Protein backbone atom coordinates (compact mmCIF):
# COMPACT_ATOMS: atom_id res chain seq x y z
CA UNK A 1 0.00 0.00 0.00
CA UNK A 2 1.51 3.28 -1.09
CA UNK A 3 0.91 6.28 1.12
CA UNK A 4 0.07 9.63 -0.43
CA UNK A 5 2.80 12.30 -0.31
CA UNK A 6 0.59 14.44 1.97
CA UNK A 7 0.16 11.62 4.46
CA UNK A 8 3.90 10.88 4.37
CA UNK A 9 4.67 14.53 5.22
CA UNK A 10 2.10 14.48 8.05
CA UNK A 11 3.54 11.27 9.51
CA UNK A 12 7.12 12.56 9.25
CA UNK A 13 6.07 15.69 11.13
CA UNK A 14 4.26 13.64 13.77
CA UNK A 15 7.55 11.75 14.30
CA UNK A 16 9.15 15.19 14.89
CA UNK A 17 11.17 14.86 11.68
CA UNK A 18 11.46 17.17 8.68
CA UNK A 19 8.38 16.73 6.43
CA UNK A 20 10.53 17.14 3.30
CA UNK A 21 13.21 14.51 3.92
CA UNK A 22 12.17 12.66 7.10
CA UNK A 23 15.73 12.75 8.50
CA UNK A 24 16.33 16.20 9.99
CA UNK A 25 14.87 17.43 13.25
CA UNK A 26 11.77 19.62 13.13
CA UNK A 27 12.27 21.21 16.57
CA UNK A 28 15.30 22.57 18.40
CA UNK A 29 13.50 22.47 21.78
CA UNK A 30 10.19 21.10 23.09
CA UNK A 31 8.01 23.24 20.77
CA UNK A 32 10.58 25.59 19.19
CA UNK A 33 10.75 25.06 15.46
CA UNK A 34 14.13 24.82 13.77
CA UNK A 35 14.50 27.56 11.14
CA UNK A 36 15.54 24.96 8.59
CA UNK A 37 16.09 21.22 8.39
CA UNK A 38 19.54 20.16 9.59
CA UNK A 39 19.66 17.38 6.99
CA UNK A 40 18.24 18.85 3.76
CA UNK A 41 17.98 22.59 4.48
CA UNK A 42 14.23 22.82 3.84
CA UNK A 43 12.88 26.05 5.41
CA UNK A 44 10.45 24.31 7.78
CA UNK A 45 10.66 27.26 10.20
CA UNK A 46 8.59 29.31 7.73
CA UNK A 47 5.53 27.12 8.41
CA UNK A 48 3.49 28.72 11.21
CA UNK A 49 1.12 26.31 12.95
CA UNK A 50 -0.26 29.17 15.11
CA UNK A 51 -3.01 28.02 17.54
CA UNK A 52 -3.79 24.80 15.69
CA UNK A 53 -1.72 22.33 17.76
CA UNK A 54 -3.26 23.15 21.18
CA UNK A 55 -6.74 23.17 19.66
CA UNK A 56 -6.20 19.82 17.93
CA UNK A 57 -4.63 18.30 21.05
CA UNK A 58 -7.66 19.24 23.15
CA UNK A 59 -9.96 17.97 20.40
CA UNK A 60 -8.15 14.61 20.34
CA UNK A 61 -7.67 14.12 24.08
CA UNK A 62 -10.93 15.66 25.32
CA UNK A 63 -13.21 12.69 24.57
CA UNK A 64 -10.69 10.25 26.06
CA UNK A 65 -10.31 12.28 29.24
CA UNK A 66 -14.08 12.72 29.52
CA UNK A 67 -14.55 8.95 29.24
CA UNK A 68 -11.83 8.29 31.82
CA UNK A 69 -13.46 10.81 34.16
CA UNK A 70 -16.80 8.98 33.98
CA UNK A 71 -15.08 5.61 34.49
CA UNK A 72 -13.15 6.96 37.49
CA UNK A 73 -16.31 8.47 38.96
CA UNK A 74 -18.02 5.06 38.91
CA UNK A 75 -14.97 3.23 40.29
CA UNK A 76 -15.61 3.96 43.97
CA UNK A 77 -13.26 1.33 45.38
CA UNK A 78 -10.37 3.81 45.21
CA UNK A 79 -10.36 7.04 47.29
CA UNK A 80 -11.42 10.19 45.47
CA UNK A 81 -8.04 11.91 45.88
CA UNK A 82 -6.27 9.01 44.15
CA UNK A 83 -8.72 9.10 41.24
CA UNK A 84 -8.42 12.87 40.83
CA UNK A 85 -4.62 12.85 41.14
CA UNK A 86 -4.35 9.98 38.66
CA UNK A 87 -6.62 11.67 36.15
CA UNK A 88 -4.75 14.96 36.52
CA UNK A 89 -1.37 13.32 36.10
CA UNK A 90 -2.59 11.36 33.08
CA UNK A 91 -4.08 14.50 31.49
CA UNK A 92 -0.90 16.53 31.96
CA UNK A 93 1.29 13.67 30.73
CA UNK A 94 -0.89 13.00 27.70
CA UNK A 95 -0.87 16.67 26.69
CA UNK A 96 2.91 16.91 27.13
CA UNK A 97 3.41 13.83 24.94
CA UNK A 98 0.81 14.71 22.30
CA UNK A 99 1.38 18.45 21.81
CA UNK A 100 4.76 18.33 19.95
CA UNK A 101 3.57 15.40 17.84
CA UNK A 102 0.36 17.18 16.89
CA UNK A 103 2.33 20.34 16.10
CA UNK A 104 4.76 18.32 13.98
CA UNK A 105 1.92 16.59 12.15
CA UNK A 106 0.19 19.91 11.49
CA UNK A 107 3.44 21.43 10.21
CA UNK A 108 3.86 18.37 7.97
CA UNK A 109 0.33 18.78 6.62
CA UNK A 110 0.87 22.51 6.05
CA UNK A 111 4.21 21.76 4.35
CA UNK A 112 2.37 19.87 1.60
CA UNK A 113 -0.02 22.83 1.09
CA UNK A 114 2.62 25.57 0.99
CA UNK A 115 2.93 27.76 -2.09
CA UNK A 116 5.65 26.46 -4.35
CA UNK A 117 7.84 29.05 -6.05
ZN1 LIG B 1 14.85 17.77 5.75
The pLDDT tens digits for 65-105 are 999 999 988 888 889 999 999 999 999 999 999 999 999 99
For 38-52, what is the mean pLDDT? 92
* 104 Cα to the center of ligand 1, angstroms: 13
Length in residues, the chain: 117
What's the pLDDT score for residue 28? 95
What's the pLDDT score for residue 27? 96
* 61 Cα to the center of ligand 1, angstroms: 29
* 39 Cα to the center of ligand 1, angstroms: 5
Average pLDDT of the chain to the nearest whole number: 92
* 101 Cα to the center of ligand 1, angstroms: 17
* 76 Cα to the center of ligand 1, angstroms: 51
How far apart are the C-alpha atoms of 57 and 100, rounded to whole Å?
9
Phi, psi of 27, deg, nearest 5: -120, 150
* 43 Cα to the center of ligand 1, angstroms: 9
- Sequence-distant (≥ 6) Cβ neighbours of residue 34 within 8 angstroms: 24, 25, 26, 27, 28, 44, 45
Range with lowest mean pLDDT among 48-62, 67-81, 100-114? 67-81
- Residues 15-32: tens digit of each pLDDT: 999 999 999 999 999 999
5-32 b/e with 16+ CB inside 10 Å = b? Answer: eeeebbbbbbebbbbbebebebbeeeee
Domain boundaries of the chain, sorted by first residue:
5-113
Amino acid sequence: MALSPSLICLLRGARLKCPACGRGHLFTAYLKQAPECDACGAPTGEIAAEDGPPWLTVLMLGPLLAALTFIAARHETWPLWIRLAGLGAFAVGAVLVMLPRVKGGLIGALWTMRAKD
